[in-house]
Structure 1
Amino acid sequence: MTRFILSRVGFGLLVLFLLSVFVFVLFYVSPSDPARIIAGDKATEELMAQIRVKLGLDQPIYVQYLNFVGNLLRGDIGFSYRSGLPVSDLLYARIPVTMSLVFGAVVLWLAIGIPIGIASAKHPGSLRDRFGQGFAIVGISFPTFVLGMMALFLLYFLPTKAGVTLFPPGGYVPFAQDPLGWAWHLILPWTTLALVVAAVYARLTRGQMLEVLGQDYIRTARAKGLTERRITYTHAFRSAMPPLVTQLGIDIGLMLGGVIVIEQVFGLLGVGSLAVTSVAMQDRPVVIAIVLLGGVFVVVANLVVDLLYAVLDSRVRTAAR
């Protein structure tokens, strides 16, 4: 088991190393000049030369890369070209917003999608199944920004026009400052994101459960007189979980890098909105930090998924020995 964990950690570190090389080449070896971006189009050559020396851009490429990696390992991501603030401070202010949005939505979409998928699989062809498949098709087809705008119109604009305030239009309140206000401001973003993603999990759960419920050992369990509830949740759902865990790890890792559409619709100042602003303003240090942060989230999420595989599937534990 230890060898299995070390191999997964080593592979994750290799992925992060390759990502750092790719990002460095893309942003520092590309034809555009960072000094020109900082100084502006009307800057003199002397000023740009001073900026290059200050940023270390006058040194050989390999020295620049080593300095780049060394600074990353120390947590020094540099300063924003536009605001002049440390990039780490910008990220620390935005990460709690994105994490609150993602993890709250995860709880909702699992609570919605998995029960619908299980109910559809237990009663194939029934009204429940048709409802579940209809929910999945509609949810997958609906863009998140459309659902978000509909939620704002129906649950904020119309009630407010009638003199009733049900939900705020957006914004973020820190959990430590006001837990109830934190949840109140995030209900609409949570629900919007959860309904779209829950459709994927409902469809995936249904497909996996149908496959597992047709296995011989399930028929044997029924012949032994086990209750349908125990067969469904103790035997069938446990066997259907690995693909769901894989999808969950991918979704969480990607979304922690920024839920751009939802953050823009509801005015949440998270990592996604910071990424949009930084790309538009060509703020390279911030863009680099967001790309690397997203890579770290994906690698960590996949590592957790691999460990859960070992817990859920005894064959993985046996192969890891």
Structure 2
Amino acid sequence: MWRFLIRRIVFGIVVLWLVATTVFLLFFAGPADSVARRLAGPRAPIEVVDQIKDTLGLDRPLFTQYLGFLGNLLRGDLGTSFISQTPVSTLILQSLPGTLWLVFGAAVLWMIMGVGGGVVSATKPRSLRDRTLTVLVLAGISLPTFVLGILMIYLALSVFPGTGLQPGPYISPFIDVGAFLSTMVMPWICLAVVQAAVYVRLTRGSMLDTMGEDFIRTARAKGVPERSVTYRHGLRAALTPVITQFGVDVGTLLGGVVVTESVFGLQGIGQLMIRSVRDGDLPVIIGAAIMAAAFIVIANILVDVAYSFLDPRVRLA
């Protein structure tokens, strides 16, 4: 198992290196004046452009700049925002808690709803509850996130104002738990409903395939209770593709839940990216892109760790 994980970690490092190299070439390859102008923005005065060129050493050979870029990344230095003159790493760390709480809270909900609904649907295929869940899944997949978010805000503020739920900026649970929950419950539900629809179909299909395997028939022939066959044997084997999708989704969403954060006014990575794109703050965009790639790589490594517990063949490998 350790050899398997070491290979995955090395592969993840290679992926991050390729992403960093691609980002560097995309933004820094070219004449020094044009690169400085692109980084400063089209409306920046010439003095700012010259300052950026001198600060970043854009007159140096491209390979020298590349080595400096990688060295800064290894030290955790993502550069400095040209708009706020704040280190990019500081801006990301300030915005990260809101996104982390949003994604992890929603992830718990959508896994419970998605896996639970998929198992219920798979144990009685083509039954009334299976068809009902199919209709709900299609509605969840078809409903845009911003429409569901706006509808939830309207219900909370106009129809059911006594619920205490309200949209607003992220508040740390270590400061005020009640305010934290009142601002996060609706985003959690909104994001989870849309994601859970996919997981219901994925779990159902994987469960139906697994329940027809030889080891399931063997377990039943040995007299194993049907509940144990379903949950201990069938569900465990069927979770492999679900965990794969889960790792991809969590890693991607940690890079910024743009729509959900915008609808509910949360100050997270998604909002930071929107402001950076609007202001043309390329250092922040570069830093956030590399950070998003790192989240995806880390999430996939954690998925590989989960494989070793779900599938004995991975441990043997």
TM beyond 0.5 = yes
Return the offset for 1:213: 1.2
Cα pair distance change 1:47/1:252, threshold 3 Å: closer
Q: Does the 8 Å contact 1:170/1:266 carry over to 2?
A: yes
Cα pair distance change 1:208/1:57, threshold 3 Å: same
Within the candidate set 232, 240, 243, 1:242 is matched to 240
| CA offset digits 1:248-291 (Å, max 9, x no partner) | 10001000000000000000110011111111211111001110
Return the offset for 1:7: 1.1
Query: Structure 1 stretch 96-105 or stretch 222-231: which is displaced more?
Result: 222-231
1:148 aligns with 2:149: yes
Q: Does the 8 Å contact 1:310/1:317 carry over to 2?
A: yes
Q: 2:289 matched to which residue of 1?
A: 291
Cα pair distance change 1:318/1:25, threshold 3 Å: same
Cα pair distance change 1:67/1:157, threshold 3 Å: farther
Q: 1:114 matched to which residue of 2?
A: 115
Q: 1:75 matched to which residue of 2?
A: 76
Q: 1:189 matched to which residue of 2?
A: 187
1:38 aligns with 2:36: no
CA distance in 1, matches of 2:293, 2:59: 28
Return the offset for 1:229: 1.0
Return the offset for 1:139: 0.8
Q: 1:27 matched to which residue of 2?
A: 27
Q: Which runs of 5+ in 2 are unaligned?
A: none
Return the offset for 1:41: 4.1
Q: 1:173 matched to which residue of 2?
A: 171
CA distance in 2, matches of 1:114, 1:234: 14
| CA offset digits 1:219-253 (Å, max 9, x no partner) | 23223222111111001001101101101100010
Q: Does the 8 Å contact 1:38/1:82 carry over to 2?
A: no
Cα pair distance change 1:171/1:51, threshold 3 Å: closer
TM-score, L = length of structure 1: 0.93
One-letter code aligned to 1:11 = F
CA distance in 1, matches of 2:9, 2:312: 20
After TM superposition, list the pairs within 5 Å mapping 1:48-87 onto structure 2.
Answer: 48-87=49-88
Q: Does the 8 Å contact 2:39/2:282 carry over to 1?
A: no
| CA offset digits 1:171-218 (Å, max 9, x no partner) | 211121112321221000000000000011111011011111122322
Within the candidate set 213, 216, 225, 2:214 is matched to 216
Secondary structure class of the residue paired with 1:33: helix
Q: 1:93 matched to which residue of 2?
A: 94
Q: Does the 8 Å contact 2:118/2:199 carry over to 1?
A: yes
Q: Which runs of 5+ in 1 are unaligned?
A: none
TM-score, L = length of structure 2: 0.94
CA distance in 2, matches of 1:113, 1:39: 44
1:278 aligns with 2:273: no
| Residues matched between the structures, number | 315
Return the offset for 1:3: 1.9
